[in-house]
Every structure is written in structure tokens, then in C-alpha cells.
């Protein structure tokens, strides 16, 4: 997917003033922490009062926060979250750190633990420490997903390749993540994803976000994310269109096949990195 302007982003995603800087207005935008003068302070077992997230202002990112920090003039307020360094609902504390932040200090990286370790507004997304996870978005069943970045064409994109669901289930699952079901617009992305499907599932296929919403007759293919239908790898067998509503899956051969929308199959969600 390349049409970023069409994304449905999570409600907790704050506005950005500069690439790599995460600006908060209130505590709910900082899971596991609090908002301190526009910067998220998140729990960290190595910092008594928490650590500025990697998306804080460059002179603060990665530093331990102190109640009397002269750079903010703000003291710690109770947010109802666990104390820094305490265990989460999973019974473990987050201790993994990235190699560096904008200030050069280590900061937490995302783990598979149901919390937003890196304070970017997403929970359990891909990181170098998290490439497979049981994802549990709000009001949806948990599903095991392979998580991976698009390290071929667009490093600012990452994917969730998840276990079986029918059309209505996987569209809701992806939307709850702020990562709509994927659309594909060139051979590079198509080949890359077909290889990932082969690695993930014995079914040798996964649903993508192409659908024929038309009535009986000629197909009316539409990407459910609203992007332009300008690339396709559909086969010649269109007999299923006699039945009306049809969905599409990507095969490990890199070809696409029509399928019933109520069939349960693996599926792919896609999101830009915050």
C-alpha cells in the first residue's frame, strides 16, 4: 500500500511536528507512562521515575526522567499506571532496549507483551525483538501473527501476517490495529509478500484487501483501503463472479485467486511506522 493519506490511524496516535518526534497532549497517548510537556515518559526498570521515549525531543529522548528535571519544570503526577520497573499483566518487566536514540542513550524496544514499550501508539508491532506475537486488538479474538518490515521496497512499512479469519473478521482485526488489510501495487511488493506467505502458512495463500463488491456479472475490483486498482495478478478463471461478492487471496506462486469471502484463511495487514 502506498496511499498513506487514506490510513485509519489508531486513536491514540498523536500529531507529529517532525519525523521521529512524538508529541503528546495528555497521558492516555503515552501507554505505560505519562505526558510531560509534550514528551512521553514511559516505564523503565533502569530509571526510577521512567524514561523519555525515543520519540521525545532530541535533547530528552532516551534520558531518565527526574521529578525536578530543570528542562521541563514538571513533577511526576499519578497516572494510574504501574510503577516504573514493576511487572505488567503478563508478569514480566520490559527490559529490552534499542541500540540508540536521538540522544544516543538506550531506550526500550517493542516486545510481545501487550503493552506499548516504545510509546509510539502501537502495541506489539514489529521490532528487532518482536517478529512473532499473539496479537490481541480491542474487541477482537487474539491471533498469532508473523511481524516483519518491508525491507525490500519501503522500510517505513511493516506487516502483520496472521492466522485464519473470514473477511469480516480480518477487516475488523486489521482496523483495530490501525493497519488495514493490505493492498498491492507492484511486482516487488507482490513477490516479497508471497515469499512471506510461504514461510508462514501451510495453506500456501493469504487474503489481501481486493474485493469485488459488484453484483452478478463483470467483476468490479476494489481495494478496500480506497487505493487505485492499477496492478493485478488475477488468473483467468472468473467463474466465482457468477455468485456476486468475491474476495481475493495471494498465493505463494505470487498469483492471485478469487475466493469466497466467508472462507477462513490467513490474512495480511499493513501499516506505516509512526
Cell 501473527 appears where? 145
Same domain, 175 and 267: yes
Region of 179 please: left (phi>0), alpha (psi -120 to 50) or beta: beta
The three-point CA angle 7-12-15 to 5° equals 70
C-alpha cell at 169: 473478521
Q: What is the pTM of this model?
A: 0.61
Same domain, 161 and 261: yes
Nearest-angstrom CA–CA distance, 274 and 163: 24
The structural domain count of the chain equals 2
Whether 206 and 174 have beta carbons less than 8 Å apart is answered as no
Residue 14: inside a domain? no
User: Which residue, of 118, 138, 168, is where some domain finishes?
Assistant: 118
Q: Is the dihedral of CA 34, 36, 38, 43 positive or negative?
A: negative
Nearby residues of 223 by Cβ (< 8 Å), 6 or more positions away:
183, 209, 210, 229
Residue 69: inside a domain? yes
CATH number at residue 178: 3.10.100.10
Structural domain for 218, as ranges: 157-272
Q: What is the pLDDT along the chain (274 residues), one digit of tens a residue?
A: 433 333 333 333 333 333 457 788 777 777 667 888 888 888 877 788 888 887 788 788 888 888 766 444 433 333 333 333 333 333 333 445 554 545 555 667 888 988 888 877 788 888 888 999 999 988 888 999 999 998 887 878 899 999 889 888 999 999 888 888 999 999 999 999 999 999 887 778 899 999 887 665 566 788 988 899 889 888 765 555 545 568 898 989 999 988 888 888 899 999 887 6
Amino acid at each position: 500500500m502506498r496511499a498513506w493519506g487514506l490510513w485509519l490511524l489508531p486513536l491514540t496516535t498523536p500529531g507529529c511536528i517532525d519525523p521521529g518526534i512524538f508529541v503528546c497532549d495528555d497521558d492516555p497517548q503515552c501507554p505505560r507512562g505519562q505526558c510531560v510537556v509534550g514528551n512521553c515518559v514511559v516505564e523503565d526498570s533502569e530509571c526510577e521515575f521512567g524514561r523519555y521515549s525515543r520519540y521525545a525531543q532530541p535533547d530528552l529522548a532516551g534520558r531518565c526522567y527526574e521529578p525536578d528535571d530543570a528542562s521541563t519544570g514538571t513533577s511526576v503526577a499519578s497516572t494510574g499506571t504501574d510503577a516504573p520497573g514493576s511487572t505488567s499483566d503478563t508478569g514480566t518487566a520490559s527490559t529490552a532496549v534499542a541500540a540508540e536514540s536521538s540522544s544516543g542513550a538506550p531506550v526500550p524496544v517493542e516486545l510481545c507483551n501487550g503493552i506499548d514499550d516504545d510509546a509510539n501508539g502501537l502495541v506489539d508491532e514489529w521490532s528487532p525483538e518482536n517478529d512473532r506475537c499473539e496479537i490481541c486488538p480491542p474487541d477482537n479474538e487474539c491471533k498469532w501473527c508473523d511481524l516483519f518490515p518491508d525491507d525490500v521496497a519501503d522500510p517505513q512499512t511493516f506487516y502483520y501476517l496472521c492466522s485464519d479469519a473470514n473477511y469480516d473478521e480480518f477487516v475488523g482485526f486489521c482496523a483495530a490495529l490501525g493497519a488495514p488489510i493490505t493492498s498491492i501495487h507492484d511486482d516487488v511488493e507482490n513477490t516479497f509478500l508471497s515469499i512471506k506467505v510461504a514461510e508462514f502458512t501451510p495453506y500456501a495463500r493469504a487474503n489481501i484487501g481486493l474485493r469485488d463488491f459488484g453484483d452478478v456479472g463483470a467483476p468490479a475490483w476494489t481495494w478496500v483501503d480506497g487505493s487505485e486498482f492499477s496492478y493485478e495478478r488475477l488468473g483467468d478463471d472468473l467463474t466465482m463472479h457468477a455468485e456476486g461478492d468475491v474476495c481475493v487471496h495471494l498465493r505463494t506462486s505470487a498469483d492471485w485467486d478469487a475466493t469466497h469471502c466467508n472462507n477462513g484463511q490467513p490474512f495480511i495487514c499493513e501499516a506505516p511506522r509512526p
